[in-house]
């Protein structure tokens, strides 16, 4: 009997121990599952929108995407239009790119319904478009179309878990991003560069008011924003500079007063780049017996007009339009150039000047916008008063005369770029600021926004 009782108690104790172990194991598995779900749901998903991606003239977009992905952010690359650049000409970011064009008919109709169902939600934006401000009727009509395109974009992002939208440039894509973010119930931010702020700032007051934060590329731009948009909170405007890759090779020895002085200009053939100014300056140099070769690299809508101007000024032997050049060809052109020039009417801080300076080249640029933050006159390069042909020509002649004595300026230019416009450091700094901003605002959400459940 005692033996039976002891056996029964032993079995009961073993059963209890077994149940405790099972309960402990189940709890551990349940806790691990909860942690995994929380970890998954807290992964930040950002939609990165640009007018056109990838674009050879905007390599920084892909570089920023790659850095954010390296830090664990899920980035959905979005573009309004498909790229006109060949895939070999630009570093394409890994992963799928979500293109808004060509439009899908069914989604077009859904976007119209989404706008109509959310007139109250979009009311302040529609009021700004239709009544407030001094924009032209055609501009207002385009803004209405961009509002609809924002609804279309929101539908494209539906079900992707996007918690934030970032857009490059303040052109129409920033309005599209703003509307989509409003409909999705999330934040958006934007990067302002140059002409999008200074020349084509339609509805920028509304975009700055509604964005969670704004990144711009120069101190000049930040001061301009705060001066011209005084209602904007200064705390939401960050300066994050662009940059170029450092060059390790030695600075080449410059030719002392070469018989043919080579000037290189790189940029899209657009009116804002004002290559016509350079061509007219070349005519003055030719009349003064100045031996030179002017090389203009780039493509764009002004090509025919520039070719005609070159012919009319009889500069066919002195000025060449090379069109688009690949990276290797551009490196060769930098190596043979004596002076890299910029003649733009408006700019951010041009990458071409940074590339030239890090290669130890002398640069000449107009004293506009944020350029003096890069080109310090007489220290890291040379500046001229914008629009002054005489000053530009005088600076070119001075640089040629003193070319053999400009090593200190060329070395200072490289050092300045490496310290303040280093691509690796600046992309990392951008990601730091970007994630700090997001971590303040983004909350984990597992449910889809109810606005989009209406359709």
Instruction: Look up the CATH architecture of domain 261-421.
Output: 3-Layer(aba) Sandwich (3.40)
Q: What is the pLDDT of residue 30?
A: 46
- Spacing of C-alpha 9 from chain mean position: 74
* pLDDT for res 55: 85
- Is 227's pLDDT higher than 70? yes
What pLDDT does 404 receive?
Answer: 84
For 296-319, what is each residue's pLDDT tens digit? 999 999 999 999 999 999 999 999
**pLDDT of 36 strictly over 80:** no
pLDDT value, residue 255: 63
Candidate from 7-11, 29-33, 162-166 with smallest mean pLDDT:
29-33
Structure-token match 């066919």, residue found: 316
What's the pLDDT score for residue 449?
57
Decide: 383 and 400 in contact? Cβ < 8 Å: no
R_g of the chain, CA atoms, integer Å: 29
Q: How far apart are CA 236 and CA 280, in angstroms?
A: 43
Beta bridge partners of 187: 164
45-243+424-454 carries CATH number 1.10.600.10: no
Kindly list the domain boundaries of the chain, sorted by start residue.
Answer: 45-243+424-454, 261-421
Q: What is the pLDDT of residue 295?
A: 98
- Between the CA atoms of 389, 392, 393 and 396, what dihedral angle is there, to the nearest 10 degrees? -170
pLDDT in tens, 44-67: 999 999 998 988 888 999 999 999
**What's the burial of 133, exposed, middle or buried (CB within 10 Å: 0-12/13-18/19+)?**
middle
Give the per-residue pLDDT at 43: 79
Q: Which residues pair with 365 in a beta bridge?
A: 383
pLDDT at 440: 74
pLDDT of 122: 97
Q: Is 303 exposed, middle or buried, given 0-12, 13-18 or 19+ CB atoms closer than 10 A? A: middle
Q: How confident is the model at residue 258 (pLDDT cuts 50, 70, 90)?
A: low
| 8 A C-beta contact, residue 212 and residue 191 | no
What pLDDT is stored for residue 26 in this prediction? 45
pLDDT per position as a tens digit, 167-187: 999 999 999 999 999 999 999
> Is the CB of residue 431 less than 8 Å from the CB of residue 284?
no
Which tokens belong to 374? 């890069």
Q: Output the CA angle 422-430-233, nearest 5 degrees.
A: 125
- Tell me the C-alpha distance between 25 and 71, whole Å: 33
At residue 93, does pLDDT exceed 60? no
Lowest-confidence region among 2-11, 26-35, 163-172, 302-311: 26-35
What residues are paired with 165 via a beta bridge?
47, 188
Q: So what's the pLDDT on residue 455?
A: 52
357-412 pLDDT, tens digit each = 999 999 999 999 999 999 999 999 999 999 999 999 999 999 999 988 999 999 99
- H-helix or E-strand containing 189? strand 187-192
Please give the pLDDT value at position 172: 94
DSSP for 290-345 reads: --EEEEEE--STTHHHHHHHHHHTT-TTTEEEEE---HHHHHHHHHH-SEEE---S
Q: Is the pLDDT of residue 4 over 70?
A: no
CA distance 166 to 155: 17
How far apart (Å, rounded) are the C-alpha atoms in residues 97 and 77?
5
Mean pLDDT of 225-249: 94
| pLDDT above 70: residue 11 | no
Give the per-residue pLDDT at 347: 93
Report the mean per-residue pLDDT for the chain.
88
Q: Which of 59-73, 108-122, 432-446 has the lowest mean pLDDT?
A: 432-446
Mean pLDDT throughout 227-238? 96
Q: When comparing pLDDT for 40 and 363, which is higher?
A: 363
The full DSSP string for 382-417 is EEE-TT-HHHHHHHHHHHHHTGGG-HHHHHHHHHHH
pLDDT on residue 140 = 96
Query: Can you give the pLDDT at residue 70?
Result: 95
Q: What average pLDDT does range 244-266 have in this prediction?
A: 82
Lowest-confidence pick of 88-97, 384-393, 421-430 = 88-97
**Percentage of the residues of the chain whose pLDDT score is greater than 70:** 84
Q: In this predicted structure, what is the pLDDT of residue 264? A: 98
């Amino acid at each position: 009997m005692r033996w039976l009782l002891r056996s029964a108690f032993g079995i009961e104790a073993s059963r209890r121990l077994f149940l405790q172990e099972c309960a402990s194991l189940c709890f551990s598995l349940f806790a691990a599952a909860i942690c995994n779900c929380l970890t998954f749901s807290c992964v930040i998903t950002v939609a990165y929108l640009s007018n056109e991606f990838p674009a050879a003239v905007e390599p920084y977009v892909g570089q920023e995407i790659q850095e954010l992905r390296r830090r664990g952010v899920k980035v959905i690359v979005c573009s309004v239009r498909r790229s006109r650049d060949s895939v070999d000409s630009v570093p394409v970011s890994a992963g799928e790119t979500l293109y808004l064009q060509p439009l899908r008919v069914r989604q077009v109709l859904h976007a119209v319904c989404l706008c109509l169902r959310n007139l109250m939600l979009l009311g302040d934006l529609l009021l700004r478009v239709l009544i407030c401000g001094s924009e032209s009727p055609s501009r207002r009509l385009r803004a209405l179309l961009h509002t609809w395109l924002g609804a279309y974009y929101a539908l494209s992002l539906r079900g992707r878990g996007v918690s934030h939208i970032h857009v490059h440039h303040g052109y129409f894509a920033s309005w599209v991003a703003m509307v989509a973010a409003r409909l999705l119930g999330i934040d958006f931010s934007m990067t302002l560069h140059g002409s999008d702020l200074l020349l084509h700032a339609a509805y920028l007051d509304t975009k700055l008011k509604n964005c969670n934060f704004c990144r711009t590329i120069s101190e000049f731009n930040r001061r301009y924003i705060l001066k011209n948009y005084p209602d904007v909170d200064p705390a939401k405007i960050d300066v994050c500079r662009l940059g170029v890759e450092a060059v390790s090779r030695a600075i080449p020895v410059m030719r002392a007063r070469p018989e043919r002085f080579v000037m290189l200009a790189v940029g899209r053939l657009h009116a804002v780049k004002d290559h016509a100014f350079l061509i007219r300056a070349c005519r003055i140099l030719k009349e003064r017996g100045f031996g030179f070769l002017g090389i203009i690299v780039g493509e764009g809508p002004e090509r025919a007009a520039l070719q005609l101007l070159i012919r009319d000024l009889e500069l066919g032997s002195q000025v060449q339009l090379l069109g688009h050049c690949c990276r290797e060809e551009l490196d060769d052109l930098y190596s043979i150039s004596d002076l890299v020039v910029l003649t733009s009417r408006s700019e951010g801080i041009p990458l071409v000047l940074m590339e030239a300076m890090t290669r130890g080249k002398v640069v000449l640029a107009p004293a506009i916008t944020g350029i003096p933050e890069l080109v310090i006159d007489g220290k890291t390069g040379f500046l001229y008063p914008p629009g002054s042909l005489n000053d530009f020509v005088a600076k070119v002649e001075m640089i040629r005369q003193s070319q053999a004595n400009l090593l200190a300026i060329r070395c200072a230019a490289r050092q300045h770029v490496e310290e303040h416009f280093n691509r690796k450091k600046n992309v990392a700094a951008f990601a730091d600021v970007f994630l700090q901003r997001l971590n303040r605002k983004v909350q984990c959400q597992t449910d889809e926004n109810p606005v989009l459940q209406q359709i």
